[in-house]
Amino acid sequence: MLDAYEKLILKELQRDGRASTQALSDAVGLSPSPCWRRVKRLEEDGFITRYAAIVDGKKLGLRALAHIQVSLVDHDASSIDTFQTFIDNNEQVLECSSITGDFDYILKVAATDPESLEQFIMQSLLRLKVVRTTATTFILRQMKVSGALPVDI
C-alpha cells in the first residue's frame, strides 16, 4: 500500500515529470532526502515505469486521429504474435487494448491526414494477413487528454 506522501508524489510527478527533488519535496511536504528516497522506491517497485514528454501532435503534422477496432482471423498463437509484433514496432499506434464484444482489439492511431490513415490500414494493418476486419472511427476533437491515473481510488 502507498502512504499519503507516496500518493502525493505520484500525483505531482504525473503533473510535472521534470520536477526537481526540491520542488517535489516542497509540493508534498517532505524534506528533499526522504522525498528522493521515496521516488527511488516507487521506481524500483514499478509504480513509476518511465518518464516521457507529452508532444503536441498537430505541431508534428499529425492531424488525423482514429480508433480502429480490429478482429483477427483466428486466435492462434502465431496470429497473435504477428499482430503483437506489428503493434510493438509501429509508431503510429499510440494505444492498443484487448477488448470484449465483436472485435478483439481497439487501436488509437495517429496519421498526417485521412489518406495516410487509409494507407496505414490498407498497406500495413491488413497486409499482416492476420486481420479479418476493421472498423474505423475518426476522432473529431479530443475533449480531454490525460495520461495521469487516479491515485486515490
pTM above 0.85, yes or no: yes
Distances (CA, A) of 101 to 25, 98, 104, 123: 45, 10, 7, 26
Predicted confidence at residue 31, as pLDDT, reads 97
Calculate helix-pair angle for 4-15, 32-44, nearest 10 degrees. Answer: 80
- Which pLDDT score is estimated for 152? 87
CB-count burial class (<10 Å; 0-12, 13-18, 19+) for 144: exposed
Looking up cell 477496432 gives 69
Which residues 6+ apart lie within 8 Å of 30 measured at CB? 5, 38
Integer Cα distance of 53 and 27 in angstroms: 21
Residuewise pLDDT in 10s, the chain (153 residues): 899 999 999 999 999 999 999 999 999 999 999 999 999 999 999 999 999 998 999 999 999 999 999 999 999 999 999 999 999 999 999 999 999 999 999 999 999 999 999 999 999 999 999 999 999 999 999 999 888 899 987
Query: Domains in the chain, please, with CATH?
Result: 4-44 (1.10.10.10), 58-139 (3.30.70.920)
Which strand (E) or helix (H) includes residue 119?
A: helix 114-119
